[in-house]
Structure 1
């Protein structure tokens, strides 16, 4: 792996410039590096630079970061899309592990991230040298740094097993890994445990605990899918080591203020206990009592220091898992044990500490994330809540009785305590009420089942309502926040009339000085507006009426935007901005007038944030708020909306604000859809939209496609522009298709083209398009790509029946082969209503082709798919993906694996766009009957001989 010295020197100079601080030089160096990285050999030169000790440390560090990002950008790009050549890929995989193990710490971290990225797609099938190389290092090396680095690499590579759905391919990968790694893993674990427990000098303990942490992490990953026979046979060695390590104490590895290696290792052991308790009860049974006893002893012995928080949470999680599981001899059936756990574990971990109150005041964002967000499981309080729920499944009445006793005692203490202490006692009462009452809960729907032994409404009336309606708002902020949380948690259970009465008081809390209080008020409102009830007709409708709630809701908007503009409390408060978006999405036309007035302040916030867009979740909610107003206002006042938004959007495009471009493209698509007269900006912008640089940024791709879709819908205005650029559009399609991370988005572009453009615009390219798609279909491992391929082809056939002949022009019998081997599996997948419509209509057209209609196995297989698509199975209508919950979450989940997280905005389609791919098919069953009627005799004859097809025969009669 030798590199030209001149190349190395030039590369080092460019890398140094990327961190030099001169913005112009940085941009120039970045552009040159981006141009160079698509050339063969670039990655190898970069690795050689990282290996060289003569290169300046800052250049090596910059090079390591660039290498990581280069791998993220280019490793998944294939074929015509560019990417990394096959020979370079092999060389990088050959050298990266050994280079990483020799590199300085700062470089090692970045190389490890690059190695992980490669392993996600290539290990083990396309990187079979990695596992033997790691095993060889672990077996032969005496260097603790090499042992530790190799095991950390193994742990990182095996992490992928935790995130994937169970499948035959995954089972094969795990089996290959376990078979090659198991004996070495056990040898490293037992040797390290023996040395640590035998009394190592303090200066050696840190490295050994780092090795242990990675080894235990790898244990979890190798056991997470199934219990391998080797690990089952050697349970005793592993669990003996785990239990001894739980008892181990040494200040050299204990945390000082923050969590240390000792706490991390014990937490990782608790996670392994949870895994076995939940998945492998029979094999875990011999260790159950010992593990429960040791974890109980551990928890009781830990103090209230923050360094222990995650360990306490994981230990409690293990007790929750064992309490929730039926065991032949469960330690949790004893009422004395339940009382002891409540007293020694639950109660000490629900009272707020001084450090919690300091967090509330000094770091409100962290407090909100720990306390309110359901995704955070590693807090003392949340784990205690889970433990109460788990014990309640064993003996709900007894646990409730114990905790209600605590609540009464706390309320009595609160009546006699000083104000600050009383506030904490009442806060703990609210927390215990939530812990006792909640039995089933989801992040989206909220609480769906409660403990009937707890009177939630009484608690609401006696404690929550008086607190939230009291003045001034500055009093007892911690308790106010907890009361707002109570309303948020029990939003489904609290009656509409009482919430409607309390609504003005909740909304008023948006003006509270405390950042946590006004944030909780915003979260409460946002969640309340999402509550839905079933109507007598069985449909789902919002519980609250926009007309009656309009006043208090709209009064919140301006104070929220003022808080954000002034950066009061939590800068770039994503929760407040999400509430603005939800208010306008909920009110729709009721909020149009205020919304139009708020576009100006929102535009000012956009421009201010564009200077430093550092919070992606806030950015998403900001654009969602803009989009929710635009969707309502643009159909009736397009010029006003465009005149307000096009100037800031023009600045974003001119400055190339990377984080904002994906959203800007989406909203511009909505503006163009609604615009009665096309502004010159759209024509001027079109050429830039097709520049390869924009499409290389994966986050831009879906937004660019949304905007192109708007051009397609207005093809009469842009006919010449579209015709002259169709070749370039299809080149962008192919580029996106060749990247595994964006291949599905490529089909969105095709679908927009099929749906909105006359076929004359692209007919000359169709055969090439289909050929490219078929090539990708052969190489893609993604079931979603197969699904989207079938939907896209179905849309094309539905819109233009003449394209059917093209398939067999490409290859004789091609269409029959696809309909037999690709179509049937996809037709049984969950599909949206509009996708099912185009698939059914396309099949009707395909069956009209004589060659296909006479192929009995083909018609039979696709007819079974028709039964599924039409919901004719005996179990009733098949629930399809996208049938319910059209009110998508305004959450912070990223889309697919885009560099700058791409989030699809909810409000970038005009009203009435829900028909999706099939606006010409209002009723699927009626259209299907009409289209299949000419084929009735063929299908009825086939159904007579095939019992599985009887539902289709009944449908057609």
Structure 2
């Protein structure tokens, strides 16, 4: 073992200890940076027979993370020196690894293939084909795993010519050997039915082959597979009902003795059902003749399957297949009640799988937060209940009246059983409520609740008869799951129940926040937050509940929620696991607003304490996000009064300085957003505090800008400092270095423009003059890529500079003249700016572009004197755009200027992407015309502004130029 390998083994060994993990990660990064063949050493360590298994696992994870972070940069360039060597070694390395290591290296291969295959890795498929064998099936496992890792990317990719060319290339090299191997594995399974060791390896092969079968067919059915469909699906049908005690002993397990290990036979069946769903939903025209057999087999499988948790995914996939068949008109009759099938389907398949199972109860007790997430967030997609609900929706669409009548009859029977013995039969009420929800809800339950209900049921009557009583009872004998069901009913039907009924329920929800049961108080917090998020309509920004509705209630509610969060304050990861509680605090603060008074400071201090408790292990990104949102809304509520500025700075700055000093990566983007918001709201009469200004130089440190997720926040803070105190940076060269890096990026150029706009509009001309030529050269060089998104932002940039530098309307002309190249200004404006201005589809940006460019054309005397033809062409193009826009023929797609937390569902990881604090968000493009409205009914709308400020005062110039628009019958009147 070399010295390098010994150092690496020592570091990997230390990385297994969470106490040293972060320190070791930094040392490994340093080792990678100084060791040219570092990835190859990791791969050789994985292949080394002398390395311990735990070291190999650490090496596999480190290699995967290295590939994830360093394989390519944001612009698609390879960052590692030995990529060819890695690609040529990685397959051989993976083939001989045990399963747990295969999964890690397989993920790395998938990442590599996503960027490199087929262009930079053309020999990948031939290499895999050469390694496949119809004899050595154990060696096939690694090869098939690699193939699946490469091909499964296709499942989620949008259709494109490039993708289909890639798939066709793979098929030409892979499809024949795939089918030969598929048939050979089937034959060997028959021959080795009683050979345990060989049989398990063969079924592992079969499972991977079925997965690859899906991969190769996921985008479209290839001609080869259509020709071999009878043969291929003949084998597939065989394994849907295959029985063998070696693989799955026929032990009569009770549900309480649930053996939750998912066998390879169950995995195969799960993959088969996925493949059947694909074919029935996409290729019914060619697959239709085989559907009946698979429906019958699936029905039998579901009817006889035991309620064990290991079967959950199989039940879900099977029901998804049946749902896809039920959607097809030619097969819908299978599921109607003319032949009694609907009754049988409900009684034998749907209701048994809607009933709470032992595994559900264990989850409720042992992992309550997961129970909540599954039920409320849609992460229950692989649960029996969710699968049954989705299947019922399909059945309702085909036969609403009959399905509703039969289902309500069952619901009433279950409720009667519950009433006979509530303590013992509580499961029947749970089933009744869940079944009723599935029947009553039409469409999806979104963040806005249930929008439409089944017209054949009365959700208010059901609420009064079966739900309201449970909400008002505080009987310890009532099963907590029944309380959860009652709260969830309000959560789902809050729009139908209405504000008046909800106001009577709110005190009970508040009481549930003191309940000892984790799921009960979490559901209460979630439902409270959703109720407070109710709007007057789906398109309205006005909330139904206002601050007066929380008078006297906000403080005790928030206090109770903090108590629940801090129950396990000794364990940071436990404290932060329940983001629902923190989201509820945020929502109460956002509705209560200034009515919180001095209590707002108490809330912020509690929130800061919580952040200090979890900073050593910020394990839950959503909890962190909502904590900062809660701080943000309280800062926003208080900063309305400028007298509070000093108190806010005094409160939050020490916290942020500590996070920056301790390098809490997860908190840095949020910290800079808070600082930016405070700086942006400091009145011009109040100087920048020393606590904030001292961050100006550390902000320019390159390491701060390395993490992509930091850049929007660091840009915003840098721009806010320049806007507030332009002389804070005496040397602008480091800032221009940042600008150069960002403007050159395919995805981060937006932030480069933000910085440049601040410099050009706030810094003195004498400071900027030495750099203007090189800055323009960089921007024009980037324009040569003909990237339309970049061009649109460039157009807004030019317009914004014109509108912001009103004291120097000729600046743009003089700036282009620094290049000392004839015709550049005319070329850029005619071929780039004017040619693309009508392609802008964001109305806010289009407003700036049209007004700014028209102002430039009409008011720049230097432009008129030197480039009269450009002025004439510009007027024709811009006025035509304005007419189309104001007449409703222009692009009408407007990006939202703000986003509501109600619509945010995915805050799942730290650092990989930017998480904007919605409460203190700011448009990345400053609006120099906030007083000009895009709404036609506003007193100072877009067309009126164009008329009164630009066209009417310049009629003489328009006529002088001879614009074709001057002959228009509208005579410069832009009307709607």
Query: What range describes the TM-score normalised by the shorter chain of this pair?
Result: 0.7 to 0.9
**1:493 aligned counterpart, secondary structure:** helix
Match in the other structure for 1:344: 348
Is 1:710 paired with 2:713? no
Match in the other structure for 1:652: 659
Compared with structure 1, are the counterparts of its residues 208 and 843 closer, same or farther at alpha carbon in structure 2 (3 Å cutoff)? farther
Compared with structure 1, are the counterparts of its residues 74 and 918 closer, same or farther at alpha carbon in structure 2 (3 Å cutoff)? farther
Is 1:187 paired with 2:180? yes
Find the partner of 2:421 among 394, 411, 417. Answer: 417
Is 1:728 paired with 2:738? no
Q: Which moved more, 1:236-245 or 1:764-773?
A: 764-773
Residue deviations 1:155-176 (CA, integer Å, cap 9, x gap): 2222332333334443443444
Q: Which moved more, 1:567-576 or 1:366-375?
A: 567-576
Compared with structure 1, are the counterparts of its residues 944 and 524 closer, same or farther at alpha carbon in structure 2 (3 Å cutoff)? farther
Match in the other structure for 2:556: 555
Runs of 5+ unmatched residues, structure 1 = none
Find the partner of 1:215 among 202, 209, 213. Answer: 209
Compared with structure 1, are the counterparts of its residues 354 and 55 closer, same or farther at alpha carbon in structure 2 (3 Å cutoff)? closer
Contact 1:197 1:248 in 2 (8 A): no
Compared with structure 1, are the counterparts of its residues 382 and 420 closer, same or farther at alpha carbon in structure 2 (3 Å cutoff)? same
TM normalised by structure 1 equals 0.87
**1:904 aligned counterpart, secondary structure:** coil
Contact 2:526 2:584 in 1 (8 A): yes
Contact 1:131 1:180 in 2 (8 A): yes
Residue deviations 1:467-508 (CA, integer Å, cap 9, x gap): 111224773311111111111111222222111222222222
Match in the other structure for 2:253: none
Counting only pairs closer than 5 Å after superposition, residues 483-882 of structure 1 correspond to structure 2 as: 483-534=486-537, 539-567=540-568, 572-636=577-641, 637-675=644-682, 676-716=686-726, 719=727, 721-724=728-731, 726-735=732-741, 746=752, 749-750=755-756, 762=768, 764-769=770-775, 771-772=777-778, 791-792=796-797, 795-796=800-801, 799=804, 802-803=811-812, 809=819, 816=827, 820=831, 828=839, 830-831=841-842, 833-844=843-854, 870=885, 872-873=887-888, 878-882=892-896
CA distance in 1, matches of 2:116, 2:966: 45
Compared with structure 1, are the counterparts of its residues 203 and 889 closer, same or farther at alpha carbon in structure 2 (3 Å cutoff)? same
CA distance in 1, matches of 2:914, 2:234: 46
**2:516 aligned counterpart, secondary structure:** coil
Is 1:313 paired with 2:320? no
Counting only pairs closer than 5 Å after superposition, residues 877-896 of structure 1 correspond to structure 2 as: 878-882=892-896, 886-889=899-902, 891-894=904-907
Find the partner of 1:905 among 917, 934, 950. Answer: 917
Match in the other structure for 1:149: 142
**1:413 aligned counterpart, secondary structure:** helix
Residue deviations 1:849-901 (CA, integer Å, cap 9, x gap): 67696599999888887677x37445x98242316x74243745138x97455
Is 1:130 paired with 2:134? no
Compute the displacement of 1:516 (Å): 0.5
CA distance in 1, matches of 2:325, 2:89: 45
Find the partner of 2:303 among 295, 300, 304. Answer: 300
Residue deviations 1:228-287 (CA, integer Å, cap 9, x gap): 333333322332222221111335544942323222221222222222232233223222
- Answer 1 or 2: higher relative contact order, Cα 8 Å, separation at least 6: 1
Compute the displacement of 1:356 (Å): 1.9
**2:399 aligned counterpart, secondary structure:** helix
Compute the displacement of 1:396 (Å): 0.1
Match in the other structure for 1:84: 79
Residue deviations 1:428-473 (CA, integer Å, cap 9, x gap): 1211111111112253333222210011111111112121112247
Compared with structure 1, are the counterparts of its residues 625 and 356 closer, same or farther at alpha carbon in structure 2 (3 Å cutoff)? same
**1:159 aligned counterpart, secondary structure:** helix
Contact 1:827 1:866 in 2 (8 A): no
Residue deviations 1:176-235 (CA, integer Å, cap 9, x gap): 444443333333333333333554422123333333333333333333333333333332
CA distance in 1, matches of 2:215, 2:772: 46
Contact 1:837 1:921 in 2 (8 A): no
TM normalised by structure 2 equals 0.86
Contact 2:273 2:321 in 1 (8 A): yes
Counting only pairs closer than 5 Å after superposition, residues 27-106 of structure 1 correspond to structure 2 as: 27=23, 30-31=26-27, 33-34=29-30, 36-37=32-33, 40-53=36-49, 59-77=55-73, 84=79, 88-106=82-100
Greater C-alpha radius of gyration: 2
Compared with structure 1, are the counterparts of its residues 543 and 767 closer, same or farther at alpha carbon in structure 2 (3 Å cutoff)? farther
Q: Which moved more, 1:201-210 or 1:435-444?
A: 201-210
Contact 1:529 1:582 in 2 (8 A): yes
CA distance in 1, matches of 2:966, 2:421: 79
Contact 2:850 2:878 in 1 (8 A): no
CA distance in 1, matches of 2:120, 2:970: 45
Alpha-carbon RMSD across the aligned residues, in angstroms, is 3.9
Compute the displacement of 1:387 (Å): 1.1
Q: Which moved more, 1:659-668 or 1:179-188?
A: 179-188
Compared with structure 1, are the counterparts of its residues 515 and 643 closer, same or farther at alpha carbon in structure 2 (3 Å cutoff)? same
CA distance in 2, matches of 1:880, 1:350: 43
Match in the other structure for 2:158: 165
Match in the other structure for 1:224: 218
Contact 1:529 1:544 in 2 (8 A): yes
**1:376 aligned counterpart, secondary structure:** coil
**2:452 aligned counterpart, secondary structure:** strand
Compute the displacement of 1:317 (Å): 1.6
**1:548 aligned counterpart, secondary structure:** helix
Alignment length, in residue pairs?
931
**2:119 aligned counterpart, secondary structure:** coil
CA distance in 1, matches of 2:476, 2:967: 74
Contact 2:64 2:107 in 1 (8 A): yes
Compute the displacement of 1:834 (Å): 2.8
Compared with structure 1, are the counterparts of its residues 216 and 610 closer, same or farther at alpha carbon in structure 2 (3 Å cutoff)? same
Contact 1:78 1:738 in 2 (8 A): no
Compared with structure 1, are the counterparts of its residues 20 and 420 closer, same or farther at alpha carbon in structure 2 (3 Å cutoff)? closer
Find the partner of 2:268 among 255, 265, 270. Answer: 265
CA distance in 2, matches of 1:199, 1:243: 19
Find the partner of 2:443 among 440, 445, 449. Answer: 440
CA distance in 1, matches of 2:201, 2:825: 60
Contact 1:523 1:575 in 2 (8 A): yes
Compute the displacement of 1:300 (Å): 1.0
**2:203 aligned counterpart, secondary structure:** helix
CA distance in 2, matches of 1:778, 1:595: 52
Compute the displacement of 1:364 (Å): 0.7
Contact 2:670 2:713 in 1 (8 A): yes
CA distance in 2, matches of 1:196, 1:787: 61
CA distance in 2, matches of 1:939, 1:921: 31
CA distance in 1, matches of 2:764, 2:389: 59
**1:440 aligned counterpart, secondary structure:** strand
